[in-house]
Copies of this chain bind each other. A is one copy, B any other.
């Protein structure tokens, strides 16, 4: 790992740039041999900064719960994770990552009624202005938040999906109760952007963090659209895989 250069006077403090890179390295498995981060003096040399600056970066990571400094021993890696989300016709939140974590949980943040915008109407193949149910959910894996999603459902078919979801905590189960035995992913659109205010609080991120945004359309087995959703994933914690 040679010449990790860091840029000055870019509006991002050196300690934060370094913290971001160390976090990435940890998730990439660069320090797996020892289970700990290199000594502060080594890192200071590598990044070309003073040891105090490295200490600020490690303090930030310790605050996030990613590392833990032990006097006399070093800085231990507490947690590393990047969950793999397969994207396929059968994409679901919990099933795909079921073998990677011990516990997945989904909670309802809010729900309400919207009218279809022209964009939503086009996707769901309904009339603009038609009533929709909106669900805002937060997905956890092993007690860590990984994604927040907003989903829209045609109100005529799924008028009380919010209540059912609140009880079951699963879209798949809610669909089943409402007569949709199965559903498939039609298309997924993936972009990346900086975390907004809601991401920072809901996903417990720090400013400058990255979110992967997946806009997805699901349809029932008759190919009638049943759900359009916009999900925002903490980019540090996930990867998407597309198998063809």
Contacts and interface: CB of A to CB of B under 8 A. Distances in A.
Contacts of A60: 11
Nearest to A213: B239
A12 interface: yes
Interface stretch (A71-79, A105-113, A150-158, A186-194): A186-194
Nearest to A13: B11
Interface in A121-154: none
A189 B11 contact: no
A104 interface: no
Q: A88, A184, A190, A206: which has the most chain B beta carbons within 10 Å? A: A190
Interface string A20-32: 1100100000000
A197 B1 CA distance: 12
For this chain, the copies found in one complex come to: 2
Contacts of A19: 11
A87 interface: yes
Contacts of A191: 82, 212, 235, 238-240
Interface string A72-103: 00000000001010011101000000000000
B5 A189 contact: no
A140 to B, nearest CB: 20
Q: A192, A200, A206, A241: which has the most chain B beta carbons within 10 Å? A: A192
A10 interface: yes
Contacts of A184: 244
A159 B97 CA distance: 39
28 contacts: A4-B197, A5-B197, A10-B206, A11-B12, A11-B16, A11-B207, A12-B12, A12-B13, A12-B16, A12-B208, A17-B194, A82-B191, A84-B189, A87-B242, A184-B244, A186-B243, A186-B244, A187-B242, A187-B243, A188-B241, A189-B241, A190-B190, A190-B212, A191-B238, A191-B240, A192-B212, A192-B235, A193-B235
Top 6 A-B pairs ranked by shortest CB distance? A11-B16, A10-B207, A11-B13, A192-B192, A192-B235, A190-B240
